[in-house]
Amino acid sequence: MDCIFCRIISGDIKSDIIYRDDLLVAFRDINPKAPVHLLIVPRKHIACLADVEDDELPILGHLMAAANRLAREAGIADKGYRLVVNCGPDGGQEVAHLHLHLLGGRQMRGLG
């Protein structure tokens, strides 16, 4: 498959994976925008949030719960963190595989 995230999940491309379970894989972004910048990616290839089917909704909850757990483990949960989901080219999505950006470790400005 040409999807870089699918290749990271399968182990074809090495990455700094910090968490994995049956539904997702989390790894450090290679171009971090904050001191903590993790990507949380479902193992199942779903191109973007707009493509999530009803039977895949539990994956979204699992991604959010994992993000909260990873934020606690990274020591950023108490002061706060940002979760970002980009959807499609106009939404800034660069890799066509659903993923969450977990950002923290500094004051996050803008968008709110």
CATH number at residue 71: 3.30.428.10
- How confident is the model at residue 110, as a pLDDT? 76
110 falls within a domain: no
Task: Find the domain containing 8 and state its range.
Answer: 4-104
Segment holding 36, helix H or strand E: strand 36-42
11 falls within a domain: yes
Angstrom CA distances, 69 to 4, 7, 49, 102, stand at: 25, 24, 21, 11
pLDDT at 18 exceeding the cut of 70 = yes
Q: Which residues pair with 20 in a beta bridge?
A: 25
Residue 45 annotated as catalytic: no
Give me the number of domains the chain comprises: 1
- Check 37, 97, 99, 101 and give the catalytic one: 99
- How confident is the model at residue 1, as a pLDDT? 63
pLDDT (tens digit per residue) in 27-71: 999 999 999 999 999 999 999 999 999 999 999 999 999 999 999
- How confident is the model at residue 36, as a pLDDT? 98
Its pTM stands at: 0.94
